[in-house]
Amino acid sequence: MEKKNKILNIEEIQTYYGVSHVIQGLSMHVEKQEAVSILGRNGVGKTTTLRSIMGLTPPRSGNIYINGARTTKWQPHKISKMGVAYVPAERHIFPGLSVEENLMMAARPGNGNDAWTLEKVCDHFPVLAERTKQDGSTLSGGEQQMLAIGRALISNPEIIIMDEPSQGLSPLLVQMITDVVLKFCIKSGITMLIVEQNYRMALKVASRHYLMGTKGEIVKVASTKELVDNPDIIQSHLSV
């Protein structure tokens, strides 16, 4: 596969929290307009991988490339300006700011009629349209997740990185978020990297999956079809 097709390319990164060596030699890639998931048990380094990509916990060695630029030691705001939107598991809705203000803080110009604007986000997320003046931190968990995704979309990114988007949500809300991701993110051509404990959701939204063992070790790379046809792979690797 040619590197030029990879919007994200990670080569042998080593990431630490203090003296704790969390990611030990991780390599992976995501192609443009591809949806990829990282699956694994709690504590194996999935979130740390995303934090490494975003510059929040930079790796001590190894390389991270976004659209061909080596971003390994870049600050998060500079990585964001590369067209990377991050939806953390904690959602990080700004308290004291309305729904509209939370969205507009992230707004960036897009190209053409497909650009995401405040109006477009509200059109596609009616529940947010009804609450534009409400403090974003007072929304329900599912509404906050929609706000976090809408905030990512309004930055008009090339790639969205999502950490556990189904975490803490009811099955009905998980289905709603899955539909949002499929309809508004993937079908609009945005590249996606998603970390999920809920492998059923990951199988619905991603076409390729990295199964992570301890210390960021990739034990297998599989297609959705392979995992659907052989559910014992998930059972043996993830014990779920």
pLDDT digits 0-9 by tens, 188-229: 889 999 998 888 899 999 999 999 988 888 999 999 999 999
CB-based contacts of 16-21 (< 8 A; 24+ apart in sequence): 16/60, 17/48, 17/57, 21/215
Closest CA to 131 of 141, 122, 142: 122
pLDDT of residue 239: 63
Closest CA to 96 of 105, 108, 86: 105
Percent of residues, the chain, with pLDDT higher than 70 = 98
Q: What does the pLDDT average to over 16-35?
A: 94
pLDDT mean across residues, the chain = 91
Contact predicate 177/145, CB 8 Å: yes
pLDDT of residue 1: 40
pLDDT band at 4 (very low <50, low <70, confident <90, very high): low
pLDDT of residue 166: 87
Contact predicate 34/1, CB 8 Å: no
Closest CA to 203 of 36, 7, 33: 36
Question: pLDDT tens digits for 112-149?
Answer: 778 899 999 998 889 999 999 999 999 998 899 999 99
The conformation of residue 197, written as its DSSP 8-state character, comes to S
**Which residues make Cβ contacts (< 8 Å) with residue 26, sequence separation at least 6?**
10, 12, 13, 15, 45, 49, 62, 216, 217, 218
Alpha carbon distance 121, 159 (integer Å):
17
Domains belonging to the chain, first-starting first, are 3-238 (3.40.50.300)
CB-CB neighbours of 79 under 10 Å: 20
Q: Which residue has the higher pLDDT, 167 or 118?
A: 118
Contact predicate 103/124, CB 8 Å: no
Question: pLDDT tens digits for 6-22?
Answer: 999 999 999 999 999 99
pLDDT of residue 76: 96
How many Cα atoms are found within 13 Å in the side-chain-facing hemisphere of 68? 4
